[in-house]
Amino acid sequence: MTILTTHPLHQGPLTLLSQGAEAHIYLTQVSTPYTSHQQQQQIIKQRTTKLYRHPTLDKRLIKQRTRAEVKTLQKIQKLENAKLNAPQFIRQHGDSAILMSYLPYPQLKDVLKSTHTSIDRIAEAIAVLHDAGIIHGDLTTSNILVNTQSERLETEESNIYIIDFGLSHISLLAEEKAVDLYVLERAWESTHADMFHMVTAFRCRLDLY
Ligand SMILES: Nc1ncnc2c1ncn2[C@@H]1O[C@H](COP(=O)(O)OP(=O)(O)OP(=O)(O)O)[C@@H](O)[C@H]1O
Ligand SMILES: [Mg+2]
């Protein structure tokens, strides 16, 4: 566990939660009386320099992806649709860092085998995203979080959370929506080869596009 003492977006200790291909994800450690610990926790997504990229291109990609993620998070927030959940955007710092709400849920790929995840809820979330003209661009089973505690509750609020919008863009083209579904289908297939009914469901949807 790495502890950073400060980041311009947060005064206080941070825990390194994930070191992905694109960014370092830090969890803020805040404890204030009278509020639950989890409610107070936030995420800093700090995109990192890639030495294998030309410095000019690297700067441009980091800026573009941070901007795309902020714009899409803001757009989703404005939709206020209970079927589509995403982190709440809080603040941006420079061209490379975003402060957002913390979603304390596992990745879809880690719960696929152990729990029954409602494909309907996932499909509904993607449909809302696509109907709003948002293409995710990297819709893998790591970029979907699942609140497994609430999956059997019959609430309007979905238990599915979509994250990682750095490659998102605006388009209403059926082909682009189909690519999102195709990427998810492949990711799902590789995680859970025997989930043939899920794959079939996605095929039907792909055919519709
Ligand atoms: N707001 C959040 N709340 C909770 N966990 C998060 C949040 N944002 C990111 N994470 C966790 O960190 C992981 C990596 O985040 P993200 O996908 O945004 O970054 P990335 O660098 O693009 O990673 P990768 O290259 O692995 O896709 C996520 O899969 C998720 O487990
Ligand atoms: Mg990711």
| pLDDT tens readout for residues 1-30 | 566 667 899 888 899 999 988 899 999 976
Average pLDDT estimate for 169-186: 95
What is the rounded distance in angstroms from the CA atom of residue 45 to the CA atom of residue 99? 7
How many domains does the structure of the chain reveal? Answer: 2
- Mark whether 57 and 19 lie in a shared domain: yes
Residues 88 and 126 reside in one and the same domain: no
Which two structure tokens, joined as six digits, stand for 46?
A: 């700090």
Q: What is the pLDDT of residue 117?
A: 75
pTM: 0.89
Asked whether 163 lines ligand 1 (CB < 6 A), one says yes
Residues 116 and 83 sit within 8 Å (Cβ to Cβ): no
Residue 57 maps to which CATH number?
Answer: 3.30.200.20
Using alpha carbons, list the distances in angstroms from residue 106 to 14, 147, 148, 172.
20, 7, 8, 30
Q: What is the pLDDT of residue 128?
A: 97
Q: Please provide the average confidence, as pLDDT, over all residues in the chain.
A: 87
**Residues 201 and 140 placed together within one structural domain of the fold:** yes
Does the beta carbon of 43 lie inside 6 Å of ligand 1? Answer: yes
Q: By the 8 A CB rule, do 58 and 49 touch? A: yes
pLDDT at residue 109, as a whole number: 92
Long-range contacts of 35-43, Cβ-Cβ distance < 8 Å, separation of 24 or more: 38/102, 38/104, 41/102, 41/104, 42/10, 42/90, 42/99, 42/100, 42/101, 42/102, 43/17, 43/87, 43/99, 43/100, 43/101, 43/102
Whether 164 sits among the annotated catalytic residues: the reply is no
For residues 91 and 115, state if they share a domain. Answer: no
Together in a domain, 127 and 196: yes
**Could you list the residue range(s) of the whole structural domain that residue 139 is in?**
108-208
Residue 111 pLDDT > 80: yes
**Segment among 26-35, 109-118, 170-179 with least mean pLDDT:** 26-35
103 in contact with ligand 1, CB cutoff 6 A: yes
